[in-house]
Amino acid sequence: MPRPKRDARHKEVENFLETTDSKLQYKVLLLGTGESGKSTVLKQIKTIYKIGRTDEELAEITCAMHVNAVENMQILCNQAEEFGIKFSTETQEHVDTLRKCSINLEPPYGGRVPPQVASAISALWLSQEIQNTYERSNEFWILDSCEYYFKNVERFVEEDYVPTEEDAIMARVRTQGILETKIQQDPIEWSIIDVAGQKGSRKKWVTCFDNVKCVIFLVNLAGYNAVCWEDPLKNQMHDTVELFKEIVNLPTFHDIPFYLFFNKKDLFEQMIRKFPLANCYPQFKGLAKFANADVTVALEYLTSKFQEQLGEDLQDKKLPTVYMASRLKKDVQHAWEEVRDAVVLQNKKEVDKARKKQEKMQKKKK
């Protein structure tokens, strides 16, 4: 290919520099413990920006639905036995059917759940023995969305099953490693980083701590009444507060804005009426047990627990807070727009400059 003349080359370089200059790359970190809802928030953001799902992703969701239903019901059956709960003959038959199911519950996940196993899971969910076990789900680890999988499992195993939008949001796939999603919104290219939240994976987070525009820290509100997957003796909320303390006080994040997303508000509102927050924080004496105000008071108390973790040199740091259920698109849209607009405002000069450059370039092209 002939080399372009000097003038043309000069123009090429100029155009390249202008284009690079007019594009801003803003990195947003989604941090939080496992199951706090980081990937769910990201799934919703992708939907908001109309980023569709590939066939491969749909197949992964189908597989997750099968694994989630079988694995969680097996946990309940085993736990029932551990609690010394006796199964009726009918329930025992369903337990046996479930235990014969041979799909892969560890990666690489695989296999389909036969319809008779799905029926057994549905029947087990309705049985008194399993309901009594589930009542005590704060004593052992189980996914807090398990009810969704049990109630829908017979639909998941239909021949022509295609995951609905809600299924896609509710599917639980543990994140492995660090994943980046890019969203173009001129003049900014948002790079949203989703990490694996489990204890063993947190050491790797540091590799994505450079050039961060803001951190969104997810808290699973339902975690006050649950134990950790990695350590069934540890309360999830206690683990989250400790993690937050560690992260927010890192010198690298000293001047980086933090947003607290208190997630799974739907579960929290149901739970708090049955299980007092004092189980997790004995100092908390929530009044008006069944009144709406109780939810608000409990949320305020939890928020203060996070605020208290700011070190001496961070006493002026603001912690904008959102209470949300990321299973609802509108909640994520509202929360994301709040973060996005705040970041744009904090970087107004740079954004305006890039915007003007882009407009100039577009005029030139015309």
Ligand X SMILES: Nc1nc2c(ncn2[C@@H]2O[C@H](COP(=O)(O)OP(=O)(O)OP(=O)(O)O)[C@@H](O)[C@H]2O)c(=O)[nH]1
Binding flag, residue 145, ligand X (CB under 6 A): yes
Could you say which of ligand X, Mg ion, none residue 263 binds, taking C-beta under 5 to 8 angstroms by partner kind?
Answer: ligand X
Secondary structure class of 64 (helix, strand, coil): helix
Binding flag, residue 175, ligand X (CB under 6 A): yes
Helices (H) and strands (E) in the chain, counts: 13, 6
Residue 145 DSSP symbol: T
228 CB-contact burial (10 Å; exposed 0-12 / middle 13-18 / buried 19+): buried
Member of 153, 325, 335, 339 binding ligand X (CB under 6 A): 325
Could you say which of Mg ion, ligand X, none residue 32 binds, taking C-beta under 5 to 8 angstroms by partner kind?
Answer: ligand X
- Tell me the window of 48-56, 171-179, 321-329, 355-363 that interacts with Mg ion (CB under 5 A): 171-179
Could you say which of ligand X, Mg ion, none residue 325 binds, taking C-beta under 5 to 8 angstroms by partner kind?
Answer: ligand X
- Tell me the window of 51-59, 169-177, 245-253, 282-290 that interacts with Mg ion (CB under 5 A): 169-177
CA–chain centroid gap for 316, Å, is 28
- Tell me the window of 238-246, 247-255, 274-282, 323-331 that interacts with ligand X (CB under 6 A): 323-331
Rounded CA gap, 10 and 17, in Å?
A: 11
Member of 24, 28, 38, 142 binding ligand X (CB under 6 A): 38
Binding flag, residue 175, Mg ion (CB under 5 A): yes
Nearer to Mg ion, 27 or 38 (CB): 38
Rounded CA gap, 309 and 19, in Å?
A: 42
Rounded CA gap, 142 and 232, in Å?
A: 10
Are the CB atoms for 50 and 91 separated by under 8 Å? Answer: no
Total chain residues near ligand X (CB under 6 A): 26
According to CB under 5 A, which residues from 12 to 51 bind Mg ion? 38-39
Q: Which residue has the tokens 């660090």?
A: 178
Nearer to ligand X, 188 or 219 (CB): 219
Distance separating the N- and C-terminal Cα atoms of the chain:
28
CA angle 199, 204, 209 (to 5 degrees): 115
Beta bridge partners of 258: 215
Residues found near ligand X in the complex (CB under 6 A):
32, 34-40, 143, 145, 169-170, 172, 174-175, 196-198, 218, 263-264, 266-267, 325-327
Residues found near Mg ion in the complex (CB under 5 A):
38-39, 175
